[in-house]
Structure formats: C-alpha cells, structure tokens
Amino acid sequence: MLLSAGRSIKLWDLETKEVYRHFTGHATAVSTLTFITVRPPNENQPFDGITGLYFLSGAVHDRLLNVWQVRSDRKEKNAVMSFTVTDEPIHVDLTISESKEEPVKLTVVCRDGQLHLFEQVLNGYCKKPLTSSRTIQIATPGEGVDSTPKPVPILAAAFCSDKQSLILVYGNSLQPVIERVTLNTLESHTCLVRDVQKTLALKTEMAVTKVKTPIVNSEARMLIPGIPGHSAAIRSSSCREKVENKRKPCGKEESIEDRLGAMDIDVMKIKSPSGGLPQTDNFAVLLVQGLESNDPEILNKVLQVKKEVAIKKTVARIPVHAVIPLLHELTKRLQGHPYCASQMVRWVKSVLTTHASYLSTLPNLVPQLGMLYQLMESRVKTLQKLSRLHGKLYLLITQ
C-alpha cells in the first residue's frame, strides 16, 4: 500500500495500481503523512495487510493533526481522533505502536518554537481533539537583574531508540544546537534554560578580513544581469587609490564634483570601429529602450537594418517581455508603405521563429496578435490573384 496526498489523501493498492480508499478532512495541502501502527488493534481478526491500521496526517496552516483508520466497511468519512497544537506543525516524529496495549508517543514541533508531546492508546473513535500531555520550551537565562529571558525556537525533535529520550534541535537554523533530553518529569510544562548566545555568535571579523577586491585595469568591462548589452565600468587601481586617499581623516575634503568623478558612474560609450554601425547587443538595448519610451527615432534606426544575421542576433538578445510590444510595433509598420512592409516582414519572421516557445505559453496570445493575423490573412488572399495576373501579363509580353 502507498499513501499520497494533495488536499485529499489517497491510499493506493500497489498490486492493482488503483486507489483503495479516499480520505478528506483538510482544507489546505497535506504536509505530513505517516503510518502509526503496523498491526490492527483487534488481533483476533484476520489481517489482510492494511485493514485496521492507523495513520497520521497534518496540513499547511492547520493546527490539528488527524488520525485515520482504514476500515473494510468504507465508512471512514471523518478522522477517528485529532491532536491539537498551538501553531502549524513543522516537524513530527512518533513511535509506532506494535500492539493494542502499547500507546503511541507523538512529538510535534510547531512554528512558534514549542514542542508538544502526546501519548495515546489507539482504541477507536474520539470526538474531542486531544491536547498535549507535555509541552517543552527553551529560553535564554538573560543577563543582569532586570533582563527578560528570550525564547529559543525548537527546530526539530525525534525519539531515541529507548522511547524515553528526545533529540532536540534548537537555536539558529544556520548553526543549530543538538542535545539529548531525558523525559523524567511529570510536569505538563517544562522550560529548559540554555545559554546559546556564545554558541550562535558568528565571527564577522574573520569573514570581513577574507574579502579581497580584485585589481583590474581601466580597459576592463563588466557585464551585469539585466538587458543584454548593459555594462558598467570597473574602477581601476588608480581610482581605488583616490577613494582610499579621500577617506583619510588627515586629507583635505573633496568637492561633490570630485566625489562623483571618483564613483565612476558614467556609462561607457559605444565604440564602433571606423564609425560603423553598433554591435548587435547594442541594437538589442536600443530596441528595448525605443519600445519602452516609444521613441520613433530609435525604432527607425534599429528596424531599418537589412542584414539577416544582424536581425536574428538582435531578436535573440531581446528579453521576453519585449516580444509582444515589438510585434505590436511591427504590425503598425506593416500597414504603412509597401517598401516598409517588406522590411518589417523580415523582423516578424525572425521574432516568430526565435520566440515561438515563449509565445506558445501565453494564454491570451490570440487577442494580442489578432491584428497581425488578420493583416497576414488579407495579404495572402490576394497572392493567388496576383500570381494569375502575373502569368497572363508574362504570356502577353512574350508572345
């Protein structure tokens, strides 16, 4: 048998590969699912491998852990019992019951940092949700007379092999503390005092001293994430020395103009060999800027490119969020002069072939490209008539 869950729980028969039972009782997605017993409570009845067993389930944002029993009469519409906790469970561990008299021990770590212990004999249906028999918290001792102890969150807990001790994981998730605790008290609420400040203190000074800035020359260029072709200048070693000299207390305070010059925030100018056209990555940047600002001068400069290789590279390097605006701009230009339309067809072809996978994922693609589709259909309809006219004129001229 196999248990799986989304919002409802399904019990599968692995031999027939079909759903054996359905269990519904959680409003959110199930996050915890495990069997509690390995043998049915009534040992007198024959055991088919699954009927009579109990299993536990918990869901996201749910403060109840439900216990279900697999019955043969198919009437398990509700959970047979529930365990209530103070917050959403984030870690659950239990001891499996191997007999009818042996109680099930359950430890639940909640999101608020508390640990709840349950001990219950599985003997059928229970109407009211069961509360924990013991609650464990961890706090710091505090410093000084007026200081208040601070709670330390418990991250996880698990039973040891003797079923009388717990392994607690608490503190910071980056540097947790693991401790074994023996349950030798009958108090319902236990607060463990632990000084974890020294253990969890991070050595920031060592981390800072390990940072080294690479030394580069002034001709280096660094590409940053974002639109392809964007670049930022890297400070050279001479600029870095100026900044270090400026920070010295004995030196003279520099003006705002000198500070801005030291920051080196000017964008690098586009260098083109012998005054030629910019590179294809710069075309992509210009195209995106023209689409965002709706600047006809920039768009005319980019869309007048006739080289197929430059068009393909430019279309391939634009981000996906600029594909639909580019198609809208090409659609408007297709309705203009025939010479301009013949040029825009190359761009439309390149966009549709390069970004076909992205366009196929858009749910509202048809209304967005409806104008382009109608325009292409109207042009194609006259193609057959023009071909016939061209053939007749050719026959008349050649005779």
Q: Determine the residue type at 333.
A: R
Question: Which residues pair with residue 180 across a beta bridge?
Answer: 167
Per-residue pLDDT of the chain (399 residues; tens, 9 = 90+): 788 888 788 888 888 888 887 788 778 888 888 887 756 555 555 555 566 778 888 888 888 888 888 776 656 667 888 888 888 888 888 887 777 777 888 899 998 889 998 888 877 778 788 888 889 888 888 766 657 788 888 999 988 888 888 899 998 888 888 889 887 767 788 888 888 765 555 444 444 555 666 666 667 666 655 545 444 444 444 555 554 554 555 556 666 666 666 654 443 444 444 444 445 457 888 888 888 888 888 888 888 888 888 888 888 888 888 888 888 888 888 877 666 777 888 888 888 888 888 888 888 888 888 888 787 777 777 778 888 888 888 888 887
Residue 225 backbone dihedrals phi, psi, to 5 degrees? -60, 150
The half-sphere exposure of 60 on its side-chain side, counting CA atoms within 13 A, is: 8
Report strand pairing: 134-139 vs 189-193. Answer: parallel
Tokens matching residue 374: 């109608």
Token pair belonging to 350: 């390149």
Predicted pLDDT of residue 204: 46
The per-residue pLDDT for 272 is: 44
What pLDDT is stored for residue 197 in this prediction? 66
pLDDT of residue 262: 60
Give the rounded distance of the alpha carbon of 134 from its chain centre: 37
- Check residue 355 and give its pLDDT: 87
Those residues whose C-beta lies under 8 Å from the C-beta of residue 284, and which sit 6 or more positions away, are 227, 228, 229, 313, 314, 317, 318
CA angle 9, 12, 17 (to 5 degrees): 140
Instruction: Note the pLDDT of residue 221.
Output: 66
Tokens 């003997």 found at: 123
Residue 151: strand pairing partners? 139
pTM to 2 decimal places:
0.47
For residue 129 the two structure tokens come to 């949700």
First CA to last CA across the chain, in angstroms?
A: 86
Q: Which residue type is seen at 42?
A: N
CA angle 243, 248, 253 (to 5 degrees): 80
Nearest one of 66, 76, 78 to 32, comparing CA atoms: 66
Strand 64-69 versus strand 81-84 pairing type: antiparallel
For residues 138 and 195, what is the distance between their CA atoms, to the nearest angstrom? 10
Q: How far is residue 167 CA from its own chain's centroid?
A: 31
DSSP assignment of 111-147? TTS-EEEEEE---S---SPBPPSEEEEEE---SSSSP
- Phi then psi for residue 76, to 5 deg, are -85, 70
- Token pair 């959403």: residue: 88
pLDDT at 261: 61
Strands (E), 14-103: 18-23, 30-35, 54-59, 64-69, 81-84, 89-95
Task: Please tell me the distance from the alpha carbon of residue 305 to that of residue 312, in angstroms, as a whole number.
Answer: 11
Q: What's the gap between Cα 55 and its chain centre?
A: 31
Report residue 384 as tokens. Answer: 């057959």
